[in-house]
Every structure is written in C-alpha cells, then in structure tokens.
Amino acid sequence: MSTGRSAMRMGPAELVQAAAMARRFYLEGKSKIQIAEEFGVSRFKVARVLETALERDLVRIEIRVPAELDAERSDALRSRYGLRNAVVVESPSDAEDDGVDPENLGEVAADLLGELVNEGDVLGLAWGRSTIHMAAALNRLPPCTVVQLTGVYDAGTAERGSVEAVRRAATVSGGEAHPIYAPMLLPDATTAAALRAQPGIARAFEYFDKVTVAAVSIGSWEPGISTVHDMLSDEERAHYASLGAAAEMSAHLFAADGRRIGRDLGERCITVEADRLRRIPEVVAIAGGRRKAAAIDAVLRSGLVTSLVTDTAAADHLLQETGPKPRPALDRADPDGAEPSNT
C-alpha cells in the first residue's frame, strides 16, 4: 500500500481511517462486517471507503505471477476453448526449433500435475517428447498409481522414453507403475491384438478405465512433429493426409475441425482408445510452438482434452482464430455427433 498524491486530497482523519481499513481488508484478510464492527460504522461505509482508497491511489493492487507465465493469454485461452486449466509459458525469443522450449513446458506441466493429482488417483502417461520432459521434471506427486497409455516409439528406446517416464512418476509418488513394453505401431491389426492379450500389457489396459488424470502430447501431421507420422510409410502418410489429417495425439488422427479420421490406424496401435480418453476426468495436453498451433486447435476441438500447457507462440495463433467458436472442451462432446460424456 502507498499514499499517492491524489490520496492526499483526503483529510488526515479520512486518510488514516482508510489506510487502517485497507490494511485490515487487504493484508489481514478481515471481512467488511468485521471491519465495520471494529470502527463502529456500517459495512456499506467500509465498502465506500475501500472503493475510494482504490480510486484515489491510497491502495495499489498488483497481480504478479512468475515471469515465465502469461496470465492474460492463459485466461483468454481457457475461456475460448472452455478449458478447465490453460497455462501459457513465455516463448524464449532465442530458442531454436520454432521457439519451443520443451524443458520449460515440461517443468510447468510437472507443477500442474502436482496440483491436479490427488492421493489414490491413477495417473496415465502417453508417449510423447513433452510428457517425457514433464516426467523428468516431476519432484512432487501424492501417492498414486501410474500407468502407461501407449506403446513406445521404438521398443529399443524404452529406457529413455515412456517406460522410464512411468517409472519416474511412480518413484516420485511412491505408487505402483504399470509400463507397457511394446511398440506403439504394429504392422497389422492381428499382431496388435495379439500383443494386447499379453499378460503384462493386458494388466496395464485394465487400468485405463480407472485413470483419473492423464498427460498427453500433440503432434502436427508433418515430419519430426508427429511420432506416428514418422513411423509410417510414404504411401500411408499420403493416404492419411488425403483424409485431412491435421493432428495426432496418442496415435489418434484428427481433421482440422476436431473429427477423428483414419480410425483403422488405431487398430494397429497399442494405445488408449479415444472413447476411454473422453471418459478420463482430467486430460492435460502439453504442446507448444507455432508449427503445432493448428494441431493444438484441432485436438482441443475434439473434446478429448480438458487442460492445456502451451507457450505464447502457439497461444497467439490460437487466439487469432476467426473460424467458428470451438466447442467447449469441458462438454467432452464428440464432433462426430456422439453423445457427450457424463464425466
């Protein structure tokens, strides 16, 4: 609190009383009724004094968040897409790879999970570079079970990927880990079905309906930005591109309007089904950068995601969209016309 020049227009008694009331209200957390009783005035008088103190610069209120967080963009993004949580991280101007700072996004996402996960929850982690960075940054989680939601990009890199992310999260939380030792993409649906029946993988799948909080990554349908895109043949990529693929999340493909396309691909993948994702109460997507902005928009329109951690580069693009207002994410409604989830 400070006494600005305009506040000096108040008389000395008014000034002292207003300062005292402001101190009680803003610093000590007392209610207007309590202040009114202390000073022997009505609560309406207290309200007028507090309002005058603000108008005349006797009280200055500052809202501060850490420098790397953009509160204004976060709130605008949350409102536009009907998200439960939207956290926008400042994009470093000198960062490479389209200005993306995956480590910073991961750290913020890890802090968000620390807020969202409660004791006894089941936390699901899907494959993705962003979720791997997030898991590495985890330093607090209440006791919870951690389950892997997708196979790995390459079974030979499991120790450096999603399996290790699940183990890391379970270690931090002190809970059970249920990893999946299998590739994400298989040559055909028959092989994928056989792997899903394997005891270890089947046990992990049994937890999918129990997941309460999930963390996923989003990829654009282009080289180096989508894991699934990079695993397919040129012919397959061209085929899904012809169907209008604009985004990929956990081996599910989406058109620009949020509709799922190429559902046959899911039959070849070890991944949580989209319908199960839609029933998870909290699904946090982690993705940033201008090149991913359109893909983020597509996935948010799908109704599968409830919260987002992104950066200012992507947020600026998302907030400039002039098309139809997106269906609020919290409706969990399927753009294909299915009934929204009751969760």
Q: What pLDDT is stored for residue 10 in this prediction?
A: 66
127-153 pLDDT tens trace: 888 888 899 999 999 999 999 999 987
What is the C-alpha separation between 257 and 235, in angstroms, rounded?
A: 24
**Residue 202 pLDDT > 80, yes or no?**
yes
Mean pLDDT confidence for 32-44: 92
State the pairing for strand pair 252-254/260-261: antiparallel
| Selection from 75, 49, 43 nearest residue 315 by Cα | 75
Q: What pLDDT is stored for residue 339 in this prediction?
A: 46
Q: What pLDDT is stored for residue 2 in this prediction?
A: 43
Considering the domain 69-331, what is its CATH architecture? 3-Layer(aba) Sandwich (3.40)
Amino acid symbol at 322: T
Q: Enumerate the CATH 3.40.50.1360 domain ranges in the chain, comma separated.
A: 69-331
Cα dist from 125 to 30, 79, 135, whole Å: 43, 26, 9
Percent of the chain with pLDDT over 90: 55
CB atoms within 10 A of CB 83: 21
Q: What pLDDT is stored for residue 334 in this prediction?
A: 82
Mean pLDDT confidence for 286-298: 93
Cα dist from 258 to 68, 73, 77, whole Å: 30, 22, 17
Mean pLDDT confidence for 291-306: 93
249 or 226, which is more confident?
Answer: 249
**Residue 325 pLDDT > 80, yes or no?**
no
Mean pLDDT confidence for 103-120: 91
Mean pLDDT confidence for 103-118: 91
162 or 234, which is more confident?
Answer: 234
Local confidence band at 91 (pLDDT 50, 70, 90 cut-offs): confident
Residue with tokens 């610093």: 27
In sequence order, which residues have a C-beta less than 8 Å from that of residue 210 and are 6 or more positions away?
122, 145
What is the C-alpha separation between 126 and 334, in angstroms, rounded?
A: 21
| Selection from 54, 65, 64 nearest residue 25 by Cα | 54
Q: What pLDDT is stored for residue 316 in this prediction?
A: 93
Q: What pLDDT is stored for residue 156 in this prediction?
A: 45
Q: Enumerate the CATH 1.10.10 domain ranges in the chain, comma separated.
A: 12-56
Q: What pLDDT is stored for residue 306 in this prediction?
A: 94
174-195 pLDDT tens trace: 999 999 998 889 999 999 999 9
Least confident of 6-10, 21-25, 178-182, 295-299: 6-10
Say which DSSP state 90 is in.
P
| Selection from 253, 244, 288 nearest residue 271 by Cα | 253
The mean predicted confidence, pLDDT, of the chain is 85
Q: What pLDDT is stored for residue 31 in this prediction?
A: 93
Q: What pLDDT is stored for residue 322 in this prediction?
A: 63
Amino acid symbol at 85: N
| Selection from 190, 113, 198 nearest residue 155 by Cα | 198
Q: Which tokens belong to 47?
A: 């309200």
Q: What pLDDT is stored for residue 338 in this prediction?
A: 54
Mean pLDDT confidence for 322-327: 66
Mean pLDDT confidence for 47-67: 78
Contact 218, 248 (CB under 8 A): yes
Local confidence band at 30 (pLDDT 50, 70, 90 cut-offs): very high
Local confidence band at 64 (pLDDT 50, 70, 90 cut-offs): low
Q: What pLDDT is stored for residue 337 in this prediction?
A: 65
What is the C-alpha separation between 127 and 113, in angstroms, rounded?
A: 16
- The CATH code that applies to domain 12-56 is 1.10.10
State the pairing for strand pair 219-220/213-217: unpaired
Task: Provide the CA 127 distance to its chain's centre, in angstroms.
Answer: 15
Burial class of 294 by CB neighbour count within 10 A (0 to 12, 13 to 18, 19+) = middle
DSSP helix/strand/coil, 343: coil
- Tallying the residues shown for the chain, one arrives at 343
Contact 340, 331 (CB under 8 A): yes
DSSP helix/strand/coil, 152: strand
Burial class of 296 by CB neighbour count within 10 A (0 to 12, 13 to 18, 19+) = buried
| Selection from 282, 270, 223, 274 nearest residue 249 by Cα | 274
What is the C-alpha separation between 185 and 189, in angstroms, rounded?
A: 10
